[in-house]
Structure 1
Amino acid sequence: MAHAIIPKFHNDMGVEVIEIGVKEFECTGASAPFDHPHIYMDMGDDSEIICSYCSTVYRHNPSLGPEDSKPAGALYKEYVEG
């Protein structure tokens, strides 16, 4: 996914599985201050991957857009004060 913005997802809901529309992304754990290091993850040819920090299972769902998730609301948005 060269020259593309890699989305970040979090698991504030504490669910076991989050379906996402991309295979390359970053997991942040939860929102700050409860996050873990933001790690790059790549499913490759697989349809799911488990975060080694928070154990969230991310499952690829090709019917979702690159910023969509099931359950909804897992996209991590960085806010800049100013």
Structure 2
Amino acid sequence: MADHGIPHFHNDKGVAVIHVGAREFMCIGAKPPFDHPHVYLDMGGDDEIVCPYCSTLYKFDASLKPGTCSPPDCAHHETAQAAA
């Protein structure tokens, strides 16, 4: 699957907080191949959530577009791989 409807975020840099423009998303921990199991996180009515695997704190920011984040390089975009 080259693209997905649920945004994916990572914390390769080890930042204290990632601000996100979505309340539902996937945390992958670090970029592959060092990622943890991709965890679906749903803030519900809350404005923040902590990933149970990597302890990254995510905070909802309504000023960000859905699927974007701050810092912006914490967004993970999967690319299709060619078949061998």
TM over 0.5: yes
Which SS does the other structure have where 1:73 is aligned? Answer: helix
How high is the sequence identity, in percent, across the aligned residues?
A: 51
Distance 1:6 1:79 in 2: 14
| Shift in Å, 1:37 | 0.2
Which SS does the other structure have where 2:73 is aligned? Answer: coil
TM-score (norm 2): 0.88
Q: Which amino acid aligns with 1:78?
A: E
- After superposition, the CA RMSD in angstroms is 1.3
| Shift in Å, 1:64 | 0.0
Distance 2:28 2:9 in 1: 6
Structure 1 regions of 5+ residues with no counterpart? none
Matches within 5 A, 1:63-78: 63-78=63-78
Query: Which residue of 2 is the match for residue 57 of structure 1?
Result: 57
Structure 2 regions of 5+ residues with no counterpart? none
The alignment status of 1:29 with 2:34, answered yes or no, reads no
Count of residues paired in the alignment? 79
